[in-house]
């Protein structure tokens, strides 16, 4: 047993990859200029060598085998159950890599997420070699996913993408953010709506699953309508498997914060965002994508469903919020941002929780006024950025 065994992992992954085996293939972001993004700033991008990555894969395999051996010693026949997890987390000396792999085995997802921001920037032959080795060492893996940028994908040949897919890469997460060129230019995304379309279609033709991320609020109050409409138009031309909503937040470590402070960018309020998302969902036509709102930063988690059959259901979720009284909206916003609410229906499900939230609102209002309440809500949600 070598408790000190470890392999490299990056700083982030998509929320739906929380139970995946995380393996770092490149370090940081090769573009790293997006104004809204606080991740990777002041960090240099670098490619990891194939040899180094293969060593990490072998180390991860060794950790898997050691954890299974621990399970046998504990009388669990190789199964990674709660007893094995407790042993690894509560015993002295096990590395973070052990804990990470133990949780992956415990959840049994069979999923692997390759970090960091844009792994398709690697040479095709290198990425194929890594994927092939990973599948050899981990035959139990059933899905391999990574992030990439539309601009990188556009510059990759279709044959290369097909080769990468054949080697085992199943799904790509792409940060579309917007389909409206003036917004993309304003936030220095380094890509156009047309390139988003080209990249998305190319990935689908290569046989990849495609997950496109959209940022409601990225157009601010000045370009919100165009942002909603044109982003929907671009997605209508791609028809990705997933459309994931990530409402804009601007922490002080993001470059866009300077524009916000200088008054050059004005954020949408929650009520404005609800209307923006309504328009966006309304304009999604002729596609079969799954829309998900799977992040605590989103006010309305229930805007979730398969197009076209769940479109009206998603619009009804927004309508229910918009029809709340101003006071009910405030209670819901505090409850949602504080993690107590997941649906507007929660307003009536638990009177005791609602009373606590109302008391909290009164306390904050008495001490800091109406502006203080908005700052309080902002602070609650920004802890998740």
Dist CA 114 CA 124 (whole Å): 15
pLDDT digits (tens, 9 = 90+) for 52-93: 999 999 999 999 999 999 999 999 999 999 999 999 999 988
Strand 143-148 with 171-177, pairing: parallel
* Mean pLDDT across 364-377: 89
Distance CA 140, CA 137 (A): 9
pLDDT at 170 over 80: yes
Beta carbons within 8 Å of 219's beta carbon, 6+ residues apart: 178, 180, 183, 225, 226, 227, 228, 276
Closest CA to 208 of 242, 246, 244: 242
CB 343 within 8 A of CB 328: no
Average pLDDT over residues 231-258: 96
Q: Which two tokens stand for residue 261?
A: 């402070």
The more confident residue out of 101 and 297 is 101
Q: pLDDT for 121-134, tens place per residue?
A: 999 999 999 999 99
- The pLDDT score that the predictor gives to residue 224 is 98
- Crossing angle of helices 50-73 and 124-137, rounded to 10°: 10
In this model, does residue 221 exceed pLDDT 90? yes
Q: How confident is the model at residue 2 (pLDDT cuts 50, 70, 90)?
A: low
* Cβ–Cβ < 8 Å for 191, 152: no
pTM for this predicted structure: 0.93
Q: Look at residue 210 and tell me whether its pLDDT is greater than 70.
A: yes
- Phi and psi dihedrals of 37, rounded to 5? -95, 125
Q: Which of 58, 52, 179 is nearest to 122 (CA)?
A: 52
pLDDT grade for 380, boundaries at 50, 70 and 90: confident
Residue 204: pLDDT over 90: yes
Dihedral of CA atoms 51, 56, 59, 61 in degrees, nearest 10, equals -100
């Amino acid at each position: 047993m070598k408790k000190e065994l470890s392999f490299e992992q990056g700083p982030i992954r998509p929320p739906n990859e929380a139970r995946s085996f995380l393996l770092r293939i490149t370090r940081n972001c090769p573009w790293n200029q997006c104004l809204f993004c606080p991740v990777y700033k002041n960090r240099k991008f670098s490619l990891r060598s194939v040899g180094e990555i293969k060593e990490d894969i072998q180390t991860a395999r060794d950790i898997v085998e050691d954890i299974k051996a621990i399970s046998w010693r504990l009388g669990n026949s190789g199964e990674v159950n709660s007893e094995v997890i407790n042993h690894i987390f509560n015993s002295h000396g096990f590395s973070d890599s052990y804990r990470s792999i133990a949780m992956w085995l415990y959840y049994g997802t069979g999923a692997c997420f390759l970090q960091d921001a844009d792994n398709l920037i690697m040479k095709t032959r290198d990425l194929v070699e890594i994927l092939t080795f990973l599948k050899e060492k981990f035959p139990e893996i059933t899905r391999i996913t990574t992030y990439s940028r539309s601009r990188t994908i556009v510059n990759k040949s279709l044959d290369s993408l097909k080769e990468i897919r054949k080697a085992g890469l199943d799904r790509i997460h792409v940060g579309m953010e917007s389909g409206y060129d003036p917004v993309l230019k304003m936030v220095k995304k380094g890509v156009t709506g047309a390139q988003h379309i080209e990249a998305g279609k190319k990935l689908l033709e290569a046989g990849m699953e495609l997950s496109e991320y959209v940022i409601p609020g990225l157009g601010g109050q000045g370009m919100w309508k165009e942002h909603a409409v044109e982003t929907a138009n671009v997605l209508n031309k791609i028809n990705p498997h997933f459309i994931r909503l990530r409402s804009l937040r601007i922490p002080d470590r993001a470059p866009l914060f300077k524009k916000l402070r200088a008054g050059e960018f004005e954020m949408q309020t929650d009520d404005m965002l609800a209307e923006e998302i309504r328009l966006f969902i309304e304009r999604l036509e002729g596609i079969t994508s799954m829309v998900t709102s799977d992040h605590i930063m989103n006010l309305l988690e229930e805007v979730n469903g398969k197009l076209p059959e769940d479109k009206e259901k998603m619009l009804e979720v927004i309508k229910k919020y918009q029809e709340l009284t101003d006071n009910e909206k405030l209670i819901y916003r505090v409850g949602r941002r504080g993690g107590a609410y997941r649906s507007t229906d929660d307003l009536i499900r638990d009177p005791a929780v609602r009373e606590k939230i109302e008391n909290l609102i009164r306390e904050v209002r008495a001490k800091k006024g109406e502006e203080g309440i908005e700052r309080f809500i902002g602070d609650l949600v920004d802890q998740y950025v």
